[in-house]
Amino acid sequence: MTENRFDPSSADGRWQRAWDDAGTFTANSDSDKPKSYILEMFPYPSGRIHMGHVRNYTMGDVLARYKKMQGHEVLHPMGWDAFGMPAENAAMEKKVHPGAWTRSNIEAMKEQLQRIGFALDWTREFATCDPEYYGHEQALFLDMYAGGLVYRRSSEVNWDPVDMTVLANEQVIDGKGWRSGAEVEKRKLDQWFLKITDFADELLDGLGDLKDWPDKVRLMQENWIGKSQGLEFSFELSNGAQLPVYTTRPDTIFGASFCAIAADHPIAQELADNPAAAAFIEECKRGGTTAAELETAEKLGFDTGITARHPFTGEAMPVFIANFVLMDYGTGAVMGVPGHDQRDFEFATKYDLPIVRVVASDVAQADAPMGSEAESGDGVIVNSDFLDGKSVDEAKAEIIARAESGGWGEGTTVWRLRDWGISRQRYWGTPIPFIHCPKCDIVPVPKDQLPVTLPDDVDFETPGNPLERHPTWKHTTCPQCGGAAERETDTLDTFTNSSWYFLRFASQPADAPFDPAEIAKWMPVQHYIGGIEHAILHLLYARFWTRALSHIGKFDVKEPFAALFTQGMVTHETYRVGDGPWLSPAEVKIEGEKAFTLDGGDEVERGRVVKMSKSKKNVVDPDNIIANYGADAVRWFMLSDSPPERDLPWSESGIEGCYRFVQRLWRLFGQYDAAASGEDKALLRKAHQAVVAVAEDIEALGFNKAVARIYELAAAAEKAAPSESRNFAIRAILHLIAPMMPHLAEEAHAVMGETALIADAAWPAHDPALLVEDEVTIAVQHKGKLRDTLTVPKGASKDTLEALALGSEKVQRSLDGAEVRKVIVVPDRLVNIVT
RNA sequence: GCGGGUGUGGCGGAAUGGUAGACGCCGGGGACUUAAAAUCCCCUGAUCUUUUGAUCGUGUGGGUUCGAUUCCCACCACCCGCACCA
């Protein structure tokens, strides 16, 4: 090695081309090696790769390269989640076509990804806005329709009257459209839905099999699905009608003292000609929906004058319209049991309704007065006629049994999960492949007419959905009767695009969405890596699509992602002068504890360390960093220090440290001396231990620990004198870093005279005999403190250790003549002397 | 409000019942150099002590144990998710 510095600016590109030319990372599904499908959540082509992407894809890349070294056939693909609103926003602001904007972003971002040297199979790349992709999606959608999983019904949307468009909930800010600032209206539109609720039970039960998912994500999904079991029954009302209610606490039925219905409940709507009732209903609708407002919102009600007859006591209970009852959960009506439900308690207190105890800690406490809040805990039923003395669970079962045998109610399961509304009144998405015919109603587009492609000549100058306004696009003929008809102008929610892309990566026939034989080879994804922000929607939808497609016979896969990993964010300090605009790190110079602007020299306030974001301007552009330090230093930084599930604070000194280490390794590799001889048992042992430990760390995604071990082995190898053992250690390090710093590894590998790519090399073998030490250090404690350490042969007997420990001068000094009452010896670990 | 998580040097963190602070960053000292960069070596939790060393120390307070960062109970702080779900 003549040059003693590693030059990423020449090496990185050279090796990237070498991998590309050799097709090193092209997955071969016919291989008989064990298969590993490693996937990171594909990016939205916003324009630039950011550090969060780099961290995400580096982790996946290390796994992919490592698995390959372990002899697996690896599928590690990349593509683009390319439909979505930002493209339409760009179209409006910059007067560019959403497609053109998206395509150029993809091109730029692909180049950025390639500069980082990711081991990706680019032959399988696609964008969800490719007509082939969304055409197959339309076919799958039609199959799901045929399978009874798609339906249409009228549903409320947020309507922006100025932009003439439907807004997503996140686009409604304080009740106003985010762009127009206009007061948002509720409108009823006919919308398409997917029957995800048919799978609620399966999706919930399936979570139990996802052992390699974070508990947190499983729990979030569980809560989102929100299964609850109870009783649905009807009260007879004084006006002759029936009022169905749902309760999870049928055991407390004798404590009911009122009924409450939602403001948009049909019974409430019937009262709308009463001005006082109408005014109250109006007030309920106006109520804010922010967290703070809900928390402080007072329970309010309107007495309808109607009464409900208690099924057991026959008592007449008032029926209120109440602001805390939701129409879209249960039946939109509840029985109020103030003693044992906090909301009911507050309501009853305000309106002076009876608060009866029906659950107590024991029977003797039946008449204990209620406190200042409801008691929702367990106990024994009291003041409840035939239920008295039963446990809560027994009483629940008893009431449900009586309701069912008496025919006035039944045990029911209620879900929080709603069907998935997938209609979007937007241009840049998958057209929903249906035709509205005046004669034949709704007709699916015949499969041989797919894809239904988006028109290119669209206009974003006028408000509203461009597909709706397009002069010709929607006009077509009915496939059934041949008469004039109109295309559906709604497009699919972009979450549908990401609900099956992993299947398309695994196999890409031209004439079908996927090939079941290929799916069987690759699925499920072995490691799926992405941000926690997708813990609920994306992951639930992808699980649902996989089950739905299995259900209609497309293949046999229950869960798409065997293991899920949610990585932390990349964070950075924030900067601003007083209340001024945020400053980017490039606009600030740090001097000791303080920071100043580059130009004026004003002191800058160093703010909280938060996720890198455009709005706070605390971003660092990966391109600049790669240009300065090379891809390997950046990759190494992404893996070092912070555990991968936690946030990673970006620091300039950190990346410099990584760059120094790249150079340090380069010098170490340069010291490889094929002619060296002799054994260095300690170093050899360390190297073998590291080979095993780093592999374990990578498999557990403990990249920060793997990094630390490599530092340790490198330091030991640097200090050692040349020997065969040292050569082994150096070659071991070269292979251990290959998944993490692949360019450096290839370059050094080549300089050592190897002609093959290290990307194709095997993980180093280890000698199990060298994993165990023959000497161990024993800690000697007295009074819970370390007093001395002993170096002894491994496996020394308890008696030997005890004698050695008591013989220690330091121990004797600490004992100071005290009587030894007990000696605890843990072989190969420690001796603890108790006095 | 409900659910979950986190809390260890100046900073990121390691150790999940057995030597607390591995490894990295920052900082200090030194070597090499005409000088600088680069590189290498040493020190680096706190307090006391000339040294040997001693004491304290993993958010706080208790408990279990020969031994607790680790297990249990209570509390505090911060973060995340859901949110009037009957």
For A627-661, how does the pLDDT look when each residue is reduced to its tens digit (9 = 90+)?
999 999 999 999 998 999 999 999 989 999 999 99
- Low-confidence stretches of chain A (pLDDT beneath 50): 1-2, 288-295
Question: What is the rounded distance in angstroms from the CA atom of residue A177 to the CA atom of residue A185?
Answer: 10
Q: Is the CB of A820 under 7 A from strand B?
A: no
Other C-beta atoms closer than 10 Å to the C-beta of A179 total 15
3-class secondary-structure state, position A780: strand
Tell me which residue of A602, A622, A153, A615 sits closest to A420, measured CA to CA. A153
Tell me the C-alpha distance between A628 and A483, whole Å: 65
Interface predicted TM-score of the whole assembly (ipTM), two decimals:
0.94
Q: How far apart are CA A101 and CA A90, in angstroms?
A: 8
Q: Would the Cβ of A815 be found within 7 angstroms of any atom in strand B?
A: no
Quick one: pLDDT at residue A293? 47
DSSP category for residue A819:
P
Q: What is the pLDDT of residues A499-553, one digit of tens each?
A: 999 999 999 999 999 999 999 999 999 999 999 888 888 999 999 999 999 999 9
From the CA of A705 to the C1' of B58: give the distance in Å: 20
Q: How far is the CA of A211 from the C1' of B24 (A)?
A: 32
CA quadruple A174, A175, A178, A179: dihedral positive or negative?
A: negative
CA of A239 to C1' of B73 (A): 55
Q: A169 CA, B71 C1': separation in Å?
A: 45
Residue A257 is classified by DSSP as -
Chain A residues 628 to 667 whose Cβ lies within 7 Å of strand B are 640-643, 646-649, 651, 653-654, 656-657, 660-661, 663-664
Considering only CA atoms, which of A473, A514, A468, A470 is closest in space to residue A490?
Answer: A468
How distant, in Å, are the alpha carbons of A58, A79, A285, A741 from that of A116?
Answer: 9, 16, 52, 10
For residue A255, the model assigns a pLDDT of: 93
Reported in sequence order, the residue ranges of A416-510 that DSSP labels E, i.e. its strands, are: 420-421, 423-424, 430-431, 434-437, 441-444, 475-477, 484-487, 491-492
Query: Which backbone phi and psi does A194 adopt, to 5 degrees?
Result: -105, 140
Closest nt to A592 (CA→C1')?
B26
Task: List CB contacts of A760: < 8 A, sequence separation 6 or more.
Answer: A24, A68
The two three-digit tokens of residue A73, written as one number: 């056939």
Return the closest nucleotide (C1') to the Cα of A324: B84
Q: What own/partner pairs with CB < 8 Å and gap ≥ 24 does A12-16 have?
A: A12/A115, A12/A117, A12/A626, A12/A630, A12/A631, A12/A632, A12/A743, A13/A115, A15/A117, A15/A742, A15/A743, A15/A746, A15/A747, A16/A114, A16/A115, A16/A117, A16/A743
Q: Is the CB of residue A248 inside 7 Å of nucleic acid strand B?
A: yes
| CA of A290, C1' of B83: distance in angstroms | 10
- Integer CA distances (angstroms), A188 to A155, A405, A463, in order: 5, 40, 19
The count of other CB atoms within 10 Å of the CB of residue A209 is 11
For A110-122, b/e burial (b = at least 16 CB within 10 A) is: bebbbbbbbbbbb
Cβ-contact A415, A200 below 8 angstroms: yes
Q: So what's the pLDDT on residue A46? A: 92
In 10 A of CB A383, how many CB atoms?
16
Q: Which positions of strand B lie within 7 Å of protein CB atoms?
A: 1, 3-5, 11-15, 18-20, 22-26, 38-41, 53-56, 66-68, 80-86
- A748 CA to B16 C1' distance (Å): 39
Beta-ladder partners of A789: A779
Question: In terms of Cα–Cα distance, which of A130, A89, A108 is closest to A45?
Answer: A108
Within 7 Å: CB of A487 and strand B?
no
pLDDT at A295: 45
Sign of CA dihedral A312, A313, A314, A316: negative
For the sheet containing A594-597, what is the strand order? A582-583, A575-576, A603-606, A594-597, A588-591
Q: Is the CB of A534 under 7 A from strand B?
A: no
Residues whose CB falls within 8 Å of the CB of residue A752, separated by 6 or more in sequence, listed in order: A669, A672, A731, A734
Please state whether the peptide bond connecting residue A524 to the residue before it is cis, i.e. omega within 30 degrees of 0: yes
Please say whether the beta carbons of A636 and A662 come within 8 A.
yes
CA A704, C1' B14: Å apart?
10
Residues in chain A: 835
Kindly tell me the burial class for residue A91, based on how many C-beta atoms sit within 10 Å of its own C-beta (0-12, 13-18, 19 or more).
buried
Structure tokens at A704: 């920060």
Q: How far is the CA of A262 from the C1' of B61 (A)?
A: 47
pLDDT at A31: 95
Distance CA A544, CA A583 (A): 43
Spanning CA of A183 to C1' of B16, the rounded length in angstroms is 54
How many angstroms is C1' of B46 away from CA of A783? Answer: 21
CB A110 within 8 A of CB A49: no
Which residues partner with A834 through β-bridges? Answer: A822
